[in-house]
Structure formats: structure tokens, C-alpha cells
Structure 1
């Protein structure tokens, strides 16, 4: 008995340790423990502003070289990290048990990912991006060149240092404060897989940009050109995992954060580029500090009642309500929108209604049960750019009237009642006249 007791206590302690290690929960959806894989540990200092920003917001960063043989994302079936940052564009093979499949499984489990590449991006990094719908330029010598929107500098250069300002128009992705200064970008471009509807361009190149080798003359048209070139893209998977793909590792560097910037053809000169604001806001989104929704207190009942019934009757008047909140990075705040809809669904929606909100998180709608009986569902399928999707479903049967619940006399049937009685009266009169007349 003593041995069983000790074993039980030991297993309980291991479970508790794993629970504490795995910090992600629906109560606090912000990722906290992040693995950072680097090509060179010198990146810790050259990109320290970005890393310090994450740590100041409560993230625990675990720095490792990308070929470290001790790298492991999970142990005993439990993930050790909530997020993964790959600042290792030249790595041909990860150390330990990490490979492309392990990274994709990490994302499939709901975890988040940041990948930064550059002109020396390896096939390994390109494969991870391609699996997520991001296709980096196949030419290993190609970088993004822009003779119209390059960053003005003391030397003319080859116009590979770009001042990009074509941002996606989304407050949830880039914050409500407008990014005034252009973002400095030096690296490779990518295109988005048209078959993947989950990937979005966050920062696009200008119409005058193209992807080519700056050291050689163009003999054929470039494979990527114009605004179709994406410099930074994001992916939100169907399981609400998030990923950021950048074609420039320098985008996150201290040098680009602090550099003054002036876009060619513009008289506006900024003392500081927009890189720090852009990267900080984007990191808040990818690590669920913004745009993460949860739904609680889903209720439905007949009008005038408070208890949830086990079954509805056709033509009942009912009310449906749900509370929706958004994570602000530190607490749950009421989510306010005017496009949340509820469906009363059986094979197809019989009722589709936009819900009203009290602007304190409560959404509600009232409607009449359709004159069709069967097994219905209350469904809320909410998908909005940059926000985690909500998928709520609650099943409820609907019955017809019982035989004693119908009206005794239906007003619309009065003509038929009149026809029946007039026929009987006419038959009585006819019989009387026929029998007693000479």
C-alpha cells in the first residue's frame, strides 16, 4: 500500500509540474513562454529592443541556437512553449527533435509562430513558409528592389533598402495608432498561395518594386513584381493559431528601429523609422494580446421566462443571448460590434438575425420559432479579419402543436363552417318540401 501511495503522489507532482509549465489557458490566452531559435547568439544584442519589448510585457524568452541538440518543443506529450520565434534563416537543419513536421504540429496544436527570413533563407525555412501558404522567391540570389520607393541615404546604393508604407488597414492587426513613418525593409519578397484563404498581406511592396538579383542585369521579366510582392504576411489558422512571416530579419533589428528614414520622392523626413511600432503592434497580435475573443453565458428561453426549456413548440417567441469579450493583454474587455449574427438552423438557416448589443459584452436577439418541427441548432459563426473565430452551436428540438393545443375554431375557416351548415339546412328544407308537398 505504501508503494502505491508514493507512486500516486509522484505522478500527481509530475502532472502539476507539467500544468505549471504549460501556461496557456482560456482565462489568459496570451502566450507567455516562447522559444527563440537563433543562427547566432549575437542576434540577442543586435535585436535586443524587440526582445526587451516582449520581456517587458511579461513573456519568458528561452534563447537557443537553432542547431542545439537539446531542442525540444514537447515532453511527455505536453508542449513546453506557447510560441516559437525563428530568427535562423540560414539553418539547414534544426537540432534535437525539431523539424518541419514538428513546427507544423506545433502550429496545428494552436501555438503561434514568427518566422524571419533574408536573402540567405534556407530550404528548411522556405518549406515551413510554403506549408503555411507563403512562397518566398525561388531565386536564392533575388531580393526586393524598388527604384521608386527606396529609402534615401548618403550613398545612392542599389535601392534594396526600401521605405515601405503600404500597410493593411486593420486596427486589430496594427493597433489603433496610425504608423506615420515608413518601415525600413531589406530582404526577400514572397507571394501568397491563392488556394490559401487564411494568409493576408500586412505590408506590401509598392507598384514599382520587383524581385531580382541586384548584381546582374535582368534578362527575363522578374517572377515577382509590383504590389503583388508581400514583404510581411500573417496567417490565422482555423484553430486560431497565428503566424507572422517576414522576408527581412533586419526588420526586427535595433539598427532599423533607430534609423531615420526618408522615402524617395517625399519631402518628409522622420527621425525614426516605423519599424519598432510596426513590429511591436504585430507581435501583440500574433501572441494574442489583441484580437482574441471568447464567448460565455450562452442562453435561450421563451419570452417572459428565464429557464432554458428542453424543447420548443412551433411559433414560440424566444430570446437568445451570449456574452462576448476581447482580451486586452491584461484583462477581458467587452467586445463591441454590430455584425454578430445568430442562426436557427436545420439543414439550412430558417432564421438569420443580427443581434443587438448593450455595448457591455451582451448580445441578444428575439425571434419566432418557424412553423417547422424537427431538430434545430442555435448557431453563431463569427469570423472577422484579425479576430479569433467563434463557433457556437446548441441543439434544441422543436415539436408541433398537440391535438389539444390547436384553436377550437379557426377564424379563417368560418366560410367552410358556413358552407357546411348551409348545406345541411338546404338538405333539411329540400327533404321537408319533397315529403310534404303535393
Structure 2
């Protein structure tokens, strides 16, 4: 009995440590992703996408979205680093998972991919709304485009769109240009104008609109043109990343392998851009690129290598910081010319661009302002597609001590002259007054 209690105690102690090893902010660990499906057939119909993730070191745990065994955390620790919702029609998750649970998962700094379609349930729509996007209110609406549709042998309703409205961002979609359009069939969404964190990655063309393709339009569509987003991403303030697609077929093997020709274009591509687009997007969502870290933040007086407890006004100081980017396999030096440091107290007294040695080290030097108080070194770095860096280090600044001032200040020479001339004049006046007959 005592032996069993000892074993139980060891397991209870180690389990939280094992759970903590799944940390999305440490890309060196082997991340684990929970994939929730409407049907296990999706596992085979979208196998190219899943195999791509597994080949990059991700461990996928497939479950039906209504499985009663679903749980994201145990003993207060999350079991997964990412969540993929390929279950657009699910009305209620199984197990302990619900809308609040998904949002808490993202709030913990973990990543999420949502794929919807024309069968999207209120649950999936609510999750998307909380992430900053609004799907079309019409449950049967789809994105229709009569000028940018994909050419096929059968004239359809133009809901199969060939879109090339990509975001211009190498860090999100890679430096290699996506030559072929992306095939999309599904529902569109709009971005919440009050949410500055959500960004379109794949936009509809100006001729697109959202409507029910099986009925005539009684009124002009409410959502039209480039206001429609087909795929959007969110990077939260805690650096959690979310991708929201209005099409589940976008990730399918059939669309990956299909040829594509955009209406009005003579270029016929043997393979769509879906696989390249989705692969690069998933790399970004799961922090395989665009993930920055700052290390070795330090500062000291010029000529002195030790960090002081405080500075004196007008001291000359140097500031250093190292920034690296995760490339999916290793940390590489991050090179940019727009990293800045602020010497801050209520407002920035000093704002300096940091120089770089092109090997990850950023540095600068400046003179402490002639103001004493409690200052901060602040680095706030926010760029599209990159995790944000927010660093601050507090340091007090004191005035000169009484014995540190110069004996004679050049600026006070007129006052010195006035004082001595007054004393000399008084001496002369006294001498004349006393000895003049």
C-alpha cells in the first residue's frame, strides 16, 4: 500500500511537468495538435494537409467533434499546443469543450485554425465572431463571382472561385510567390472594424458578392467586393495565432491536386495554389516562422561592462539586445533596421533606432537626459506577421550630488564677476569714506 502511494505521488508530481512541456511559446518542443472532425472521412479527404503537418514534427490527435472524451486540459495544464476545427456543422462539442473553452485556449497563447462552409453552425459562427470576423448572416449564402470564377467543363453557378487576392507579406505566405490562383468554395466573412488585430490573407475580387446561389436576389447583396474576406488571420496580443477560412474544401486533396484556370485568363495551371497557400499559412499559424525572441538585454555606462543599479543625469550609456527568429528548425538572427528603444518616464525622453551587426545583436548609445526620476528602457516591436516584442527594464536616474558639481560653472561667470566687483566697490567706497578729509 505504501509503495502504491509513493508511485501515485510521483505520477501526480510529474504529470503537470509533462503537460507544461507542450508550450507554444517554445518552438523547440514537439507540438501536439487536436483535430476535431465532423466525419472521419475528412481525415482521408484532407490527408495531404495532415501529412504535411506530421512531416514537420506535429503530433495530431484526431477526434470527432462530438466525442465525449474531448478535453483540452488536465490538472489545470493544457494537453495541446494547437486546435484545428474541421467540423463546420457541429452544434455542440463533446466532452468538456465549449465556446468558452476554445476562447480560453486561445487566451492561454495557443493557436487555432477554423474551417467553415455553407453548413456552418451557430457555434462555429460564434467562435469566429469572438475572433473578430463575421460570417454572412444568411445560412445558405455563398461567395459568388461571375468574373473571377474557376473555368470548368460544366457551366456552374460560379461559386467555385479562383482567387489570387493574396496579402503581400513574405512572413505569412513565404518569400516564394504563389503563381497559381487558389480554389475556394464556401462562405465569405467581413472583418470587425473595431478589431485591429485581424487581417485579410485571401480577399475576394471587386466583382464578388455573397448570396444564396439557388434563389434569385430580391435585394442587392449586403456584402460585396473586396470587403469580403475568404481567409483571415488574427495575431492576438498574447501572440496566439488564429486562421479562419470560409471553405473546408480549401484544405482538401481534391483542390490541392486540381488544375485551375481563372475566367478571363489564358493561363491554365496544372495545379492550384492551394497546397502552397495552406502550407505557408499553417507554418505561420503554428509559429514555424515569424516567431521572435529577445535575449541578453543589457545596458551599462560607456567604458564600463557592469550594469549599474542607477544612472546619474548626463551619463553616457550603451544599450544592447539580441533578437532571433525561429525558422522551423533553428533560431536564426533577425535582421531589421526599424527596431527602436525608448528611455521612458511618462513619455519617451530618448527614442533611438538600434544599429545591428546583422548577426542578431542590436545596440545604441545615448546620454541620460538632465531629468531625474524612475525611467524605463522600453522596446515595443510590432510588425505584420511577427510576434510582438514588449520589453521593459526599470532604472532610477539621480541628480548630481553636492560634491559632483563643478566648482566654477562657465555659465555663471557673469554672476561671479558681479559679486567680486560689488565687493571691490564696497571696499573702495569704505576706504574713501574713512580716510577722505
Normalising by the smaller structure, the TM-score range is over 0.9
**What residue number does 1:48 align with?**
47
State the 1:19 CA deviation.
2.8
Structure 1 residue 334 corresponds to structure 2 residue 333: yes
**Contact 2:321–2:361, Cα closer than 8 Å, also in 1:** yes
Q: 2:13 aligns with which of 12, 15, 21?
A: 15
**What residue number does 1:392 align with?**
391
Q: Deviations over 1:162-218 (max 9, x none)?
A: 000011111110011111100000000000111111111000000000000111111
3-state DSSP class of the match of 1:296? strand
Greater Cα offset, 207-216 or 20-29 = 20-29
Query: Distance in 2 between the 1:245 and 1:11 partners?
Result: 42
State the 1:29 CA deviation.
5.5
Q: Deviations over 1:389-435 (max 9, x none)?
A: 11111111111000000001011111111111111112222222233
3-state DSSP class of the match of 1:402? coil
| Distance change in 2, residues 1:373/1:223 (3 Å) | same
**Contact 2:86–2:114, Cα closer than 8 Å, also in 1:** yes
**What residue number does 1:112 align with?**
111
**What residue number does 1:92 align with?**
91
Aligned length: 436
| Distance change in 2, residues 1:281/1:31 (3 Å) | farther
Query: Distance in 1 between the 2:401 and 2:407 partners?
Result: 13
Query: Distance in 2 between the 1:310 and 1:78 partners?
Result: 38
**Contact 1:151–1:161, Cα closer than 8 Å, also in 2:** yes
Query: Distance in 2 between the 1:214 and 1:171 partners?
Result: 35
State the 1:27 CA deviation.
4.2
Query: Distance in 2 between the 1:150 and 1:399 partners?
Result: 68
State the 1:89 CA deviation.
0.3
**What residue number does 1:291 align with?**
290
Structure 1 residue 236 corresponds to structure 2 residue 235: yes
Structure 1 unaligned blocks of 5 or more: none
Query: Distance in 2 between the 1:408 and 1:434 partners?
Result: 35
Please give the root-mean-square deviation of Cα atoms over the aligned residues, in Å.
1.4
**What residue number does 1:305 align with?**
304
State the 1:6 CA deviation.
6.4
3-state DSSP class of the match of 2:402? coil
Query: Distance in 2 between the 1:307 and 1:369 partners?
Result: 17
1:172-321 to 2 correspondence within 5 Å?
A: 172-321=171-320
TM-score by length of structure 2 reads 0.97
Query: Distance in 2 between the 1:300 and 1:8 partners?
Result: 49
Query: Distance in 2 between the 1:97 and 1:33 partners?
Result: 19
**Contact 2:239–2:388, Cα closer than 8 Å, also in 1:** yes
| Distance change in 2, residues 1:29/1:168 (3 Å) | farther
Query: Distance in 1 between the 2:397 and 2:6 partners?
Result: 49
**What residue number does 2:127 align with?**
128
State the 1:436 CA deviation.
2.4
**Contact 2:82–2:111, Cα closer than 8 Å, also in 1:** yes
